[in-house]
Structure 1
Amino acid sequence: MRLEDGHGHLTYSTLVHPGDDWSQMWHSLTTHVPAVRDAVAAAGPFGVSLRLSGASVDTLRDEPDEVERLAGFLAEQRLYLFTVNAFPHGPFKGRRVMEEVYRPDWSTSTRVGYTKDIADLLARIAPADVRPSIQSAPLAFRADVGSAEVVQRLTDNVLDVVAHLADLERRTGRCVTLALEPEPACYLETTEETVRWFEDHVYSRQGLTALAARAGVPVSEATDLVRRHLGVVFDICHQTVGFEDVPESLDLLVRSGVPILKLQEAAALRAPEVDADVVAELERFTDTIYLSQTTELRDGATRRFLTLADAIDAWREDPGGAREWRTHFHVPVFLDDLGAFGTTRFGIEQALGVHARTPLSSHLEIETYTWDVLPPHLKTGDVDSYVVRELQWVRERLAAASPART
C-alpha cells in the first residue's frame, strides 16, 4: 500500500507462502494476498512483493499467456507489483534449505540470467509510477568465496546485470533496481563490509570503468548509472543479529551513497541472558530447515555460530559467564515477549523512527517467512491473520514516530 508523507510502499513478502514453482505461487498469490488486502486496504491499491523461484521464472519466460494472466489478475484485484524476492532461486519450503538458499550464487551465469529475466518481467507489468526492485542474495555464502578471483567474478556478474538494467531503461523507459541483501555468514554480512565492497569494487575506478564498458557509456556517467540501479536491502533482523546499531548502520549507508532500495522489517530471536532454562526453550527453534545463524556477545566480544544448535553445543562445553544471543530466526514483528526470551523488535522501532523523520527507502516490506516452522505456542491464528497484524503494527509504529502535522 502507498503510505503518506513520502514514506513509500508497504507490503509483506509472499516468501511466507508456498511458492517453489509457478503453480504454487499462483495459488498463494490468488488465495492469500486478496484476503490480506481486504483486511488492511480494502479499497486498494495494495502493493505486492512476489516470490519468484527459478522454476517460476522459467514458466513466465516461456509461457507469455501466464504473464498476461498475472497482469490481468493484479489489475482486477486492485493490486500492483513493485518488488520481487529473487533471493532463493530453488526450493524454500518443506525441505532442508540451510546454506543452499545462497546457491546458485553471483559467481554463476544462472544467477545472472535469472535476475535479468525478472527485470524484463518487472519492466512489463510493474506500474509506470514505481521503480520496481529485485531483492537478491548477498553475493555468496562466505565459505564459498575462497579467493580474490571469486570476488571479482561476483562483482563482474553484478555489473553485467546493472548494465542490463540500464539498457532496459533505455529501451522501455522503466527503471528496475537490483538490491543485494547482507546476511550473517555471507560475503556481504555487516553494513561496514557491504559499504567496503561498494567502495572497493563498484564505486572504484576499476568498477566504474568496467560498468561503463558494459553499458556503453562514458566513465563520467557510470557513477550515476550504478547508483540508479544498484543498492541494498537493509534487513533489520540480519543487522541486529550482528549486534549492529541500526541507526548508525543506516546513517553509514546514507553517508556512503549506497541506496537503501528496500527497508525490510524483520525481527530475530534475542536471549539477553543465557542459562539452562533459556537453552531448553531455545531448543524448540533448532528443528528447522533454515540456517539459524547466531551471534554471542560475551565479555564485550562477539562470536558467530552458523546455527543455533552450534551455539548451544558451545554453551554446554562452557556454560559459565554472562552472555547474550541473537539468532537469525524471523519471528512476527508485533511480538516482543516470547516468555523465556524476547526479540530484536527494538531495531525495527529504531529504523521506523529514522524513516519517519527522513524517509530512507521507497520500499518497505515485512519478511516473516518462518510461519511454517514456528513452534506451535507462537501460532494463535492463521498465516493471513498474522500478516495483517504485522502490517497494522508497522503502520501504527510509523505513524506514531512521524512528526506531528501542523
Structure 2
Amino acid sequence: MIAYCTNVHPANDLPGILDQLDRHAVGVRARLGVDTLPLGLWLPASVARGLAEDRSARLGLRAELAARGLTVSTLNAFPYGDFHGEVVKHAVYRPSWADPRRLAYTADCATVLADLMPDSASYGSISTLPLAWREPWGDRDDAVAEAALTELTRRLRGSGDRPIRLAVEPEPGCVLDTVADAVAWLAGRVDPEYVGICLDTCHLAVSFADPAATVAAIRAAGLSIVKVQASAALEVAEPGSEEGRRAVAAYVEPRYLHQVRENTPDGVLAADDLPDAFATLPARHPWRVHFHMPLHVQPAPLRSTTDVLVAAMAAVEPDTHVEVETYTWNVLADAGDLTDGIAAELRWARDHLWTGVSA
C-alpha cells in the first residue's frame, strides 16, 4: 500500500493533527477496505519539537495511530510551519538549510520517526527542501548547508538498527531546481547511506526530464532514491490558444507557488508563478505547471502528467518509500469530499503503479 501525505490537512498542534486523521485518514482506510493505512506524516516544527523532547508523548502518538489502523514510516519535513495560511508562496522554503532552525527541525523529526516506525519497516525516510529558494544564496550558504547535512548525518548514524534516511527534494526555482542539480550538489558531499533523493514526480514532469534516464543518473552518481512523492503536474499543450489560456487561468490562486516551464526547441523557459508565465513566456510550446493534480483526475481540456509518474515508478527500486502528495485539494475548484478524493487517488495508485513498493 502507498502512503498519503498529511500536509494536505491544516493542523498546527497534536490534537488538531489527530482530529484531521479522525476526519479523513480513518475514512480513507475504511473506503479502501484495508486493515492498515500508511501515512506520510507532516508535523509542524513546534509539534516535532514537543514530541522530540518527550518520549512518552511519542509513544502515545504511536498508540493513537495504531488504534486508528495507521502507520508511519516516512515524514514530510519540507514545510516548517503553517502550510495552510492565506499566502504561503516563498515562505515554504524558509528556514533554509543555511539556517540552524532547519537542522534542528529535521533532527527532531528523526527522533520522532524512530519511535513511530512500525516493526515491519526496514528504514525510515524524511523528505526535505532543496536547500532553499535560489535567491539569495551564495558560497557561504553552500558551506553552511553542507555542514548542517554532515551534522544531521552524524545524528542519523546513531538512530538505531533501522536507518533513517534524508531525502532531498528538487523543486523548480530552488537552489536544486532539477534532479540533475541535486545529484551534482549531493554527490561527493553527503554519505549516500543516509542522504539521497526525494523524487517528486510533479517536479520531475515540470522540468521536462526523462523519468527513466533520471533514475539511471541518480544511480550512476552513487546516490539512491530514498522516497518517491507520487504526484502529477498540470500540462497545457497549447498555452497560446484561447482555450488553453482560459483553462489554465482557472488554476491561478493566491496560496501556493505554481512554477511554470515551457519546453521550446532551444531549451526550457521558466516562470516562477502562473501569473508570471502569462506575462513572460512566449506560449508557443507546451507548458507544465507545478500544480499537484489529483492522480485520478484528468483536467480536460488540459491533462495531468501521470504518464511521467508511471514511467518513473517503473524504474525505481521495489523497497522505495512512496507517498501520494496532493496538498492542493483545498485550493482546487469543485474538489468534492476530501476523504473520497484521497481514497480515489490511492485506488488509482494501487491500480496503475507498480505495487511492489513499501510505504
Q: TM-score if structure 2 supplies the norm length?
A: 0.93
What are the Cα deviations for residues 222-264 of structure 1, in whole angstroms up to 9, with x where unaligned? xxxx222111110000011011111111111122221101111
Cα displacement string for residues 165-215 of structure 1 (whole angstroms, at most 9, x for unaligned residues): 00223xxx331111111100111121211111122533xxxxxxxxxxxxx
Match of 1:244 in 2: 209
Distance in 2 separating the partners of 1:302 and 1:162: 35
User: What residue number does 1:191 align with?
Assistant: 179
Q: The residue matched to 2:198 in structure 1 has which SS?
A: strand
| RCO higher in structure (CA 8 A, sep ≥6) | 2
Please name the residue that 1:331 is paired with. Answer: 293
Aligned to 1:205: none
Match of 1:350 in 2: 311
**SS of alignment partner, residue 113 of structure 1:** helix
C-alpha distance in structure 2 between counterparts of 1:157 and 1:193, whole Å: 19
Q: Does 1:363 align with 2:324?
A: no
Q: 2:40 matched to 1:52?
A: no
Segments of 5+ residues of structure 2 without an aligned counterpart are none
Deviation at 1:129, TM superposition (A): 3.2
Say if 1:25 and 1:51, in contact at 8 Å, map to a contact too. no
- Give the % identical residues: 30
Query: After superposition, what is the alpha-carbon deviation per residue over 1:17-38, rounded to whole angstroms, capped at 9, x for unaligned?
Result: 1123333222112321111112
Alignment partner, residue 149 of structure 1: 140
* Deviation >4 Å, runs of 4+: 62-65
- 1:55-75 Cα offsets, whole Å, 9 max, x none, are 211332345553233111122
**How do residues 291-310 of structure 1 correspond to structure 2 at under 5 angstroms?**
291-310=257-276
Could you report, residue by residue, the CA deviation over 1:3-61 in whole angstroms, capped at 9, with x for unpaired residues?
xxxxxxx111011111233332221123211111122243x232121111112113323
1:264, 1:364 within 8 Å by CA — same for their partners in 2? yes
Secondary structure class of the residue paired with 2:170: coil
Letter in 2 for 1:384: T
Aligned partners of 1:253 and 1:259 also within 8 Å:
yes
CA drift of 1:353 comes to: 2.8
Paired with 1:200 and 1:259, the residues of 2 have a C-alpha distance of 13
How far apart, CA to CA, are the structure 2 residues paired with 1:176 and 1:193?
23
Q: Which structure's residues are more often helix, by fraction? A: 1
Alignment partners' CA distance in 1, 2:146 and 2:37: 35
Q: How does 1:58-73 map to 2 (within 5 A)?
A: 58-73=49-64
Residue 132 of structure 2 aligns to a residue whose secondary structure is coil
The residue matched to 1:142 in structure 2 has which SS?
coil
What corresponds to 1:210 in structure 2?
none
User: Between Structure 1 and Structure 2, how many residues are aligned?
Assistant: 354
Distance 1:313 1:265 in 2: 30
Shift in Å, 1:330: 0.4
Q: Distance in 2 between matches of 1:335 and 1:255?
A: 34
What SS class does the counterpart of residue 235 from structure 2 fall into?
strand
Instruction: Provide the C-alpha distance between the structure 2 equivalents of 1:199 and 1:71, rounded to a whole number of angstroms.
Output: 35
Residues 38, 73 of structure 2: 8 Å contact kept: yes
Deviations along 1:275-329, one digit per CA (max 9) or x if unpaired, are 22221222221123000000012344211100010001125xx56xx31111100
Query: Is 1:126 matched with 2:139?
Result: no
Alignment partner of 1:397 is 2:359: no
Aligned amino acid, residue 328 of structure 2: T
- Structure 1 segment 197-208 matched on structure 2, within 5 A: 197-202=185-190
Q: Which amino acid aligns with 1:188?
A: L
Asked if 1 retains the 8 angstrom alpha-carbon contact of 2:73 and 2:116, the reply is no
State the partner residue of 1:222.
Answer: none
User: Cα deviation per residue 1:148-167 (whole Å; 9 max; x = unaligned)?
Assistant: 12111111101110110002
Q: Is the 1:352–1:397 contact (alpha carbons within 8 Å) kept by the matching residues of 2?
A: no
Q: 1:72-122: per-residue Cα shift (whole Å, max 9, x none)?
A: 112222322101111000111132111110100111111111111111111
State the 1:271 CA deviation: 0.3
Q: Please name the residue that 1:163 is paired with.
A: 154
Q: Are 2:97 and 2:103, in contact at CA under 8 Å, matched by a contact in 1?
A: yes
Letter matched to residue 86 of structure 1: A
Structure 1 stretches lacking a partner, 5+ long: 2-9, 203-225
CA gap 1:67/1:75 in 2 versus in 1, 3 angstroms: same
**Contact residue 59 and residue 115 of structure 2 kept, 8 A:** no
The answer to whether 1:374 aligns with 2:339 is: no
Q: Quick one: distance in 2 between partners of 1:398 and 1:287?
A: 30
Matching residue within 212, 229, 251 for 1:285? 251
